[in-house]
Structures are given as C-alpha cells and as structure tokens.
C-alpha cells in the first residue's frame, strides 16, 4: 500500500490532553512521523487508540539536559504541537522564539481554549466553557429547556483539533516555499466562532432567531428534527427542500393540504404534531425499512454499536473492531495515498529518533 500523504513530515508533540492528541492522531493516520515528548514514568495505555502512531520519548523538561535534548529534536522537526497554558513553554525554555531560533523553518502550533491573548487567556476551561462564550452553546437545545452540551465535538475537536491541523499544514506549505516558519495561535473560541459562520449569515438576513428551538436547523422546524417511534426509539428527519418535503408527506400518507403552510412559523407546532402522531405508529426499524433508499431524508437514530453494523457504514468500513474495541476508520479517504491506521504508540529514545531523522535528511 502507498504511504500516506504526510510521509516524511516530522512532528513533535508535547504531551497534552484533548484536541492536541486528536490533531496528532489525524496527522499520524496520514503518514506523519510523530514523536511525543512525555514525562518520564508516564503510563502508556495500549488501548488508547487516539494515542496511536507515536514514538514516545520520555524527557523531564525541567532537567536542563533533557530540555536540551528536546530542543535538539525540535531542530530536526517540521511541526511542533503543544497544548499548555500561555507562558508555560516559555518558562520551560522551549517557547516559540527559542524553537524558531533553533529551526527557522519550524511550524509551532499552540492549542488553547481561549487563545494566547485576551482577558481569559491564562484561565482554565473546558469545551463547554469555550463554546458557551463563543455563542454556540446557547443555540443548541429545546425551545423551552436549557442549552444542551453537544458532547465535546464542537470545541475540542471541531473548533480545536481540526483548526490546529489545518493551520499546521497551511503553515508547513508556506514554510516550504518561503523557508520561514511561524507560530499558530489555535483557540477553540476562534474555531467555534468560525463554525458559526452560516448561523451568523442567516441571523444577519433575519432568518435566524436567538430563541433556541425555533429555527430551521436547531430542531424548531418540523422537517428538521427527531421523532419518537412506537418502540421509544427515534428517527431523524431532514426534509428541508420542497421536493424532499413533499416526498416525505407522500410516504407518510399525509396530505399537504391538511397542514398549514411551511412559511407560517406560528403554526409549526401543528405540523410537528401531525408528523409526531404518524411516526409514533411504527417502530424505528420499521420506519427505516419504509424509507430505505428514499430521498425523503429520514434516518434511524442509531447507537454507536448499531451505527457500526449498519449496511452503509459497514460497506464503507467506517468503524472497525480492534482488540475488542470499536474504533473509527481514518478520514477523509484519499485515492492514491490513502490514510492507514497508525500502529499503537511505542516508547523510544531521543538518540534513536535523532539518528533516524539525520539519516533521512542526509538522503534528501
């Protein structure tokens, strides 16, 4: 099999939590050579597949000799990723100024929740805090209930890890043309704000209201939401466009003339009640069979285990079982240099890593 598209890209990951290891996993799956600098004695969990694809080099960065070894590794790297609070790497003597002085072509990626600057930069937080401040959390949840935390998908991974990976690869491309590295200030609040672009547009056009559960894409519209079925499971409906909506009504045996016009927001509850009554008459799987291969945009709401077994997901091998655990396959899919699930992390030594990197550079 062809090697991944990032083959030959050398990445130093300073051990961190949340979005940094997820970002590094993405790069590893695409073939990047990852070295994680971790505290000595730090336990490696062989079942933590998000830690795959690394060679772990134990170094105590508070010890001058180990710090010098880390800097030597940085001198041979293309990308450095770190997720400490602002100022921590500088106190260790491994801040971006020091690292770029050692390696002028280096891309130095910094991942935080609040960013490197601003009144909250030095304070603690988690995904829910970042998406709350960025305006995303307030838009998620039922009309007459509290905001609902969407797991940690928006802040940690969508607004954090994905933007860190994107920024790192953008800066790497530019460095290979200019010969100059740079620092990436990847903040989850910034990434989350960018993810809100469509909602900002709709709001500016007067097509989005600040009240939760009253809009097109937040579960307010009867044709974009979930419905309970006879067996207390759910189906998801996404029949936004008129042809899909009409097809949905036809397959539910509901006459469009019996419903208020879709443009009348005040009467959306009437439409929702009609759909809810209909969907409550059959089980989730019966509805899934009924709408199979239909453009009415109806899907069963599946658990993770069910999702892995679904015929479409199984055909694409979107999930796999490895060592008894359900694991997602790498994404996206490249035709010529596909991603390959990286191997489980292994402990190595800085000497072995440096020898390999020097040999590779000499062969360039």
Residue 228 to residue 230: CA distance in whole angstroms: 7
Task: Give the fold, CATH level 3, of 10-195+330-362.
Answer: Rossmann fold (3.40.50)
The full length of the chain comes to: 364
pLDDT of residue 361: 72
Intrachain domains 10-195+330-362 and 224-319 with the same fold = no
- For residue 47, pLDDT over 90 is answered with no
- DSSP structure class, residue 211: S
Give the mean model confidence (pLDDT) for residues 44-51.
70
Instruction: Look up the pTM and report it.
Output: 0.94
pLDDT of the residue at 43: 66
What is the percent of the chain where pLDDT is above 70? Answer: 97
Q: How far apart are CA 94 and CA 71, in angstroms?
A: 7
Question: Any idea where the domains of the chain sit in the sequence?
Answer: 10-195+330-362, 224-319
Span 52-99, pLDDT tens digits:
888 999 999 999 999 999 999 999 999 999 999 999 999 999 999 999
Distances (CA, A) of 170 to 83, 164, 333, 334: 19, 10, 19, 18
What does CATH list as the number for 224-319? 3.30.1540.10
Per-residue model confidence (pLDDT) at position 1: 43
- Predicted confidence (pLDDT) per residue in 146-175, tens digit: 999 999 999 999 999 999 999 999 999 999
Residue 321: predicted pLDDT:
86
Q: Which pLDDT tens digit goes with each residue over 303-316?
A: 999 999 999 999 99
Pairing of strands 224-228, 234-238: antiparallel
How does residue 360 score in pLDDT terms, banded at 50, 70 and 90? confident
The one catalytic residue among 29, 33, 78, 156: 156
Lowest-pLDDT range, 101-105, 208-212, 233-237? Answer: 208-212
Q: What is the pLDDT of residue 187?
A: 98
pLDDT band at 323 (very low <50, low <70, confident <90, very high): confident
Instruction: Identify whether 76 is a catalytic site residue.
Output: no
Averaged pLDDT for residues 270-295: 97
Residues 6+ apart with CB under 8 A from 311: none
Q: Is 144 one of the annotated active-site residues of the chain?
A: no
Q: How confident is the model at residue 105 (pLDDT cuts 50, 70, 90)?
A: very high
pLDDT value, residue 364: 63
Give the ranges where 180-310 is alpha helix by DSSP (H): 188-195, 197-204, 242-252, 268-279, 284-290, 304-309
Half-sphere exposure in the Cβ direction for 223 (13 Å, CA): 22
Classify 204 as helix, strand or coil: helix
Q: Which residue out of 66, 126, 209, 310 is catalytically annotated?
A: 126
Task: Report pLDDT digits (tens) over 3-23.
Answer: 789 999 999 999 998 899 999
Residues 6+ apart with CB under 8 A from 319: 304, 307, 308, 313, 326, 327, 328, 329
């Amino acid at each position: 099999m062809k090697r991944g598209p990032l083959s030959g890209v050398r990445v130093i990951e300073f051990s961190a939590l949340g979005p940094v290891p997820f970002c590094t996993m993405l790069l590893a799956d695409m073939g990047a050579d990852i070295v994680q600098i971790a505290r000595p004695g730090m336990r490696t969990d062989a079942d933590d597949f998000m830690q795959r694809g690394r060679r772990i080099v134990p170094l105590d960065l508070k010890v001058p000799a180990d710090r010098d070894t880390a800097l030597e590794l940085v001198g041979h790297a293309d990308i450095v990723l770190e997720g400490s609070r602002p100022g921590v790497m500088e106190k260790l003597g491994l801040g971006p100024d020091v690292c770029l002085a050692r390696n002028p072509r280096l891309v130095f990626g910094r991942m935080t929740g609040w960013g490197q600057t601003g009144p909250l930069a030095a304070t603690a937080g988690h995904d829910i805090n970042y998406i709350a401040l960025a305006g995303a959390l307030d838009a998620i949840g039922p009309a007459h209930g509290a905001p609902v935390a969407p797991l940690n998908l928006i802040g940690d991974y969508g607004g954090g890890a994905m933007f860190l990976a994107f920024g790192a690869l953008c800066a790497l491309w530019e460095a290979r043309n200019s010969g100059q590295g740079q620092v990436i200030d990847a903040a989850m609040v910034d990434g989350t704000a960018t993810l809100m672009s469509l909602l900002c547009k709709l709001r500016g056009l007067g097509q989005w209201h600040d009240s939760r559960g009253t809009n097109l894409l937040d579960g307010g519209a009867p044709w974009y939401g979930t419905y309970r079925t006879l067996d207390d499971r759910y189906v998801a409906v996404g029949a936004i466009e008129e042809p899909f909506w009409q097809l949905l009504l036809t397959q539910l045996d509901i006459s469009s003339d019996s419903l208020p016009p879709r443009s009348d927001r005040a009467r959306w509850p009437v439409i929702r009640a009609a759909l809810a009554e209909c969907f409550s008459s059959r089980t989730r799987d019966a509805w899934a069979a009924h709408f199979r291969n239909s453009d009415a945009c109806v899907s069963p709401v599946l658990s993770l285990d069910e999702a892995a077994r679904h015929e479409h997901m199984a055909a694409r091998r979107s999930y796999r079982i490895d060592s008894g655990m359900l694991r997602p396959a790498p994404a996206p899919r490249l035709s010529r240099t596909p991603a390959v699930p990286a191997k489980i992390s292994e402990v190595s030594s800085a000497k072995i890593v440096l020898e390999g990197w020097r040999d590779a550079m000499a062969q360039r």
